[in-house]
Amino acid sequence: MPLVIAIDGPAASGKGTLARKLADHYGLPHLDTGLLYRAVAFALVEAGIDLGDHAAATRAAETLDSASLSDPRLRDRAMGEAASRVSSVPEVRAALLAWQRRFASDPSGAVLDGRDIGTVVCPAADVKLFITASALERARRRHRELAGRGEAATLEGILADIEARDARDSSRSAAPLKMADDAVQLDTTELDAAAAFAQARAIIERARLAVG
């Protein structure tokens, strides 16, 4: 029986870290869907095309190749913001939807993390987790992460970025960030990555027992 785990949540909530640990644990392929939107934005920036050019963003999404997803520059701070802009274009989302669904249809199942996995990409996922943490704690995490990569930024600047991105991702009309009705919420403000993983596993095991 395939096991599909959908993980959603706002920026720096720890969903990617958790998704990687769960994929490892259950031996499943993992897709960080934020990278797809980052890659579309990156393609435009590299070509000197304005992020507001919806036709160009749609073409970039339609021609996205998986090799481009491993570029470390996709993780730059500016790319999170740029990805959030192109991700509000419905045609971009439609082009990336088929890609994500193909990935999720692996015979063993898959772990996908993003903003709309439980609501749009995999509405029939076996388990849906919605990962949260306070905006300040998320800003602290991103700050540490960027410092580790040598990217200088103030905590206040990152907090402002995160709050602006949360607001844009939650208020857009195409697949906004919102918890699916049948998702389980996990607040990681006070949890480190290992504790979040332990709680997520307990939720998944309960869900699997419930379906027999």
Which residue is nearest to ligand CDP, using beta carbons? 34
Q: Which of 6, 109, 169, 207 binds ligand CDP (CB under 6 A)?
A: 169
Q: Which is nearer to ligand CDP, 33 or 58 (CB)?
A: 33
Q: Which of 3, 4, 6, 16 binds ligand CDP (CB under 6 A)?
A: 16
**Positions in 189-208 near ligand CDP (CB under 6 A):** 191-193, 196
State how far the Cα of 137 lies from the Cα of 49, in Å rounded to an integer. Answer: 34
Q: Which part of the chain contacts ligand CDP (CB under 6 A), choosing from 29-37, 44-52, 122-130, 151-159? A: 29-37
Q: Which of 33, 68, 119, 132 binds ligand CDP (CB under 6 A)?
A: 33
Helix segments in 9-105, DSSP class H: 15-26, 34-46, 54-62, 77-86, 90-104
Helix segments in 63-191, DSSP class H: 77-86, 90-104, 135-148, 155-171
Q: CB 210 → ligand CDP: shortest distance, Å?
A: 25
Q: Which part of the chain contacts ligand CDP (CB under 6 A), choosing from 48-56, 62-70, 113-121, 122-130? A: 113-121
Which residues neighbour 157 within 8 Å (Cβ) at sequence distance 6 or greater? Answer: none
Residue 190 exposed, middle or buried by CB count within 10 Å (0-12, 13-18, 19+): exposed
Q: Which of 59, 128, 141, 143 binds ligand CDP (CB under 6 A)?
A: 141
Please answer whether residues 61 and 92 qualify as being in contact, where contact means their C-beta atoms are separated by less than 8 angstroms: yes
Q: Which part of the chain contacts ligand CDP (CB under 6 A), choosing from 21-29, 42-50, 60-68, 110-118? A: 110-118
The encoded tokens of residue 170 equal: 């939650």
Pick left, alpha or beta for residue 133 (phi over 0 → left; psi -120 to 50 → alpha; otherwise beta): beta
Question: Does 119 interact with ligand CDP (rule: CB under 6 A)?
Answer: no
